[in-house]
Amino acid sequence: MRVLFNGVTTLKPKTGIAHAAANLHTALVATFPTDAFWLYPGAQLKRAAGRFFRPSDKPVASSNMRPNPLKRLAKRTLGVVARFGYATHFQTTARTGRFDLYHEPNFVPFRTGLPLVVTVFDLSVLLFPEWHPSERVKAHETAFARGVALADHIIVGTEAVRAEAQRHLGLSPDRVTAMLCGVGPQFRPQSPDVIASLRLKHNLPPRYTLYVGTIEPRKNIGMLLRAFCDLPPKARETCPLVLAGGWGWKADAERELFHSIAKPLGAIHLGYVPDDDLPALYAGAEALLYPTFYEGFGMPPVEAMACGTAAVTSTADAVREVVGTHALTIDPNNLDGWRDALNRIATDREFLSYYRRRGITHAATFTWEACARVTHGVYRKVLGLPQADAVARRAA
């Protein structure tokens, strides 16, 4: 089997989807060495493109700002040219590479004529367009529907999203598969020296609660900030809130709340944190806080569990499916509940010990090898090949 795997999202600083694509590709290569999984755009072009993508914590432009019309036109024109060139190169690669199948791990595929598998991690743009930039919503309205129509099979992150895909996209159950993401081996308990070094590097206090992810409307960071600001002064001083992630789209209200009230009261914003720092950042936290309104999966709680840190999450369907009974869950709209949890974390070191003990074992069930096997099974189904376990039984 020869698979064309679009890895363009891995060229820039990785967020959830890019991490998932990179880890899944690595696991496919390791688990099925007799098959070929060609990661577009290839090593040479990847090196050339890499210098254009640098981590940045510059805030996304406020919706109240009026950009220079000429700059906006130039940026839009450059974007159109770049997308056209990228699409042309990708389609040429698909035609000339003698591939059996094309896997698009980032929502919207190109037309290639190859059997097609598409990964859709969540339906937030479709279900909650108010949380996204208008340009993204407009592009999604046409491109997403086309991508779904082109796909021979769709992979989603959880059974919760699988049910949404059937309900809102009209997909038949046999055309959509749920594949729980894996957790990388780097996410594990860290030594005291490693944690101390991380604290020194980022000037962190001995105790802190932590949020990891881009700050955007559906992540509900305003709730965390308000809950933190409502704490008694001693609780805020004992265990401040740390945000690790860049300011995303439509985050004006959260940014204003942070800078005007939360930061003077002790909240800390680290911005984008390098991947290598995340395990120690998780391990050094008293708890990982995840108050999101909606997710397709939600990686940070499971990564934190793998590092020995308790997770406190919202009751969003997919998140609750992923964490099960191994995390403390709170309604995303319950300000009193989030404030009380933060207060207990600050004043009672044993408050979350039950979840710390259970989290490591639970996180160990999420492996990228298992994801690769599910994905490979989907490939074989789309190509009309017998499943690997059936082949093994016949060989025996």
Mean per-residue pLDDT for 261-266?
A: 97
Task: Report pLDDT digits (tens) over 301-347.
Answer: 999 999 999 999 999 999 999 999 999 999 999 999 999 999 999 99
41: preceding bond cis by omega (within 30 degrees): yes
- The Cα–Cα gap between 23 and 298 comes to 15
Query: How much is the pTM?
Result: 0.85
Backbone dihedral angles phi then psi of residue 287, each to the nearest 5 degrees: -165, 150
Residue 76 has pLDDT above 70, yes or no: no
Which residue from 184, 255, 244, 241 is spatially nearest to 214, judged by alpha carbons? 244
Instruction: Give residue 84's pLDDT band: very low, low, confident or very high (50, 70, 90).
Output: low
Instruction: Give residue 390's pLDDT band: very low, low, confident or very high (50, 70, 90).
Output: low
Q: Given this model, what pLDDT does residue 60 score?
A: 47
Residue 245 has pLDDT above 70, yes or no: yes
What stretch of H or E contains 46?
helix 43-50
H helix runs in 131-174, sequence order: 134-150, 159-169
What stretch of H or E contains 37?
strand 36-40
Task: Report pLDDT digits (tens) over 36-67.
Answer: 999 998 654 444 444 444 444 454 444 445 55
Backbone dihedral angles phi then psi of residue 121, each to the nearest 5 degrees: -75, -30
| CATH number corresponding to 2-182+367-395 | 3.40.50.2000
- The Cα–Cα gap between 121 and 105 comes to 9
Task: Report pLDDT digits (tens) over 19-35.
Answer: 889 999 999 999 999 99
Residue 160 has pLDDT above 80, yes or no: yes
Instruction: Give residue 12's pLDDT band: very low, low, confident or very high (50, 70, 90).
Output: low
Domain spans, the chain: 2-182+367-395, 192-363
* Angular region, 73: left φ>0, alpha ψ -120 to 50, beta rest: alpha
Task: Report pLDDT digits (tens) over 170-212.
Answer: 999 999 999 999 999 999 999 999 999 999 999 999 999 999 9
Homologous superfamily, domain 192-363: Glycogen Phosphorylase B; (3.40.50.2000)
Q: Given this model, what pLDDT does residue 197 score?
A: 97
Mean per-residue pLDDT for 378-396?
A: 76
Q: Given this model, what pLDDT does residue 106 score?
A: 81
**C-beta separation of 254 from 221 below 8 A:** yes
* Angular region, 183: left φ>0, alpha ψ -120 to 50, beta rest: beta
Task: Report pLDDT digits (tens) over 221-242.
Answer: 999 999 999 999 999 999 999 9
Residue 371 has pLDDT above 90, yes or no: yes
pLDDT, greater one: 350 or 140 = 350
- The Cα–Cα gap between 201 and 277 comes to 10
Q: Given this model, what pLDDT does residue 48 score?
A: 44
Percent of the chain with pLDDT over 70: 85
Q: From the CB of residue 88, how many other CB atoms can be counted at a distance below 10 Å?
A: 11
Does this chain's domain 2-182+367-395 share its CATH topology with 192-363? Answer: yes
* Angular region, 107: left φ>0, alpha ψ -120 to 50, beta rest: left
pLDDT-wise least confident of 104-108, 244-248, 307-311, 333-337? 104-108
CA angle 93, 33, 176 (to 5 degrees): 70
Instruction: Give residue 74's pLDDT band: very low, low, confident or very high (50, 70, 90).
Output: low
